[in-house]
Amino acid sequence: MDVCIPIDEDRGLESPVCRHFGSAPLFMLVPLDGGACRVVPNRNQQHAHGECSPLASLQGESLEGVVVGGIGSGALGRLTSSGIPVYQTKDTTVEGVMRSYRAKTLTLMTPAMSCVHHAHGEHHDHDGH
């Protein structure tokens, strides 16, 4: 089973975490058994607001969980209804995320924590940042 982390570019464990799941160009899949990481392109990166379909790019992957900085309510709902837990992180690299994941210090996302998009296209997480 793998942990999926949205990233901006592939730099292995030093890959920077993308702030918003649906806009990430890539997903890093980190196996929990210590195997090699894999990168999957986000084929649904360009989508209408609320139409993010994360499972399209991750179809067939065996995911233990998804760790994000931010995620919209539609994508969050689609992942959780598929039985995939989504966790929030403030870590900035894949290595930091996995350290927090293994330490069980990440917060399980709820619909109230999902990102809110305003008419002018700004991205804010639940804290208003």
Specify the pairing of strand 2-7 against strand 63-68.
parallel
Bridge partners of 4, per DSSP, are: 29, 66
122 has pLDDT over 50: no
Cα angle: 6, vertex 38, 113; to 5 degrees = 20
Backbone angles phi and psi of 113, in degrees to 5 = -95, -5
Show the tokens assigned to 43. Answer: 């084929």
29 has pLDDT over 80: yes
For 2-124, CATH gives 3.30.420.130
What local confidence, expressed as pLDDT, does residue 58 receive?
A: 86
To which H or E segment does residue 116 belong? strand 116-117
**With contact defined as beta carbons under 8 Å apart, do 64 and 55 qualify?**
no
pTM listed for this prediction: 0.82
Domain ranges of the chain: 2-124
Q: Which pLDDT tens digit goes with each residue over 81-101?
A: 989 999 999 999 999 999 999
Bridge partners of 7, per DSSP, are: 17, 26
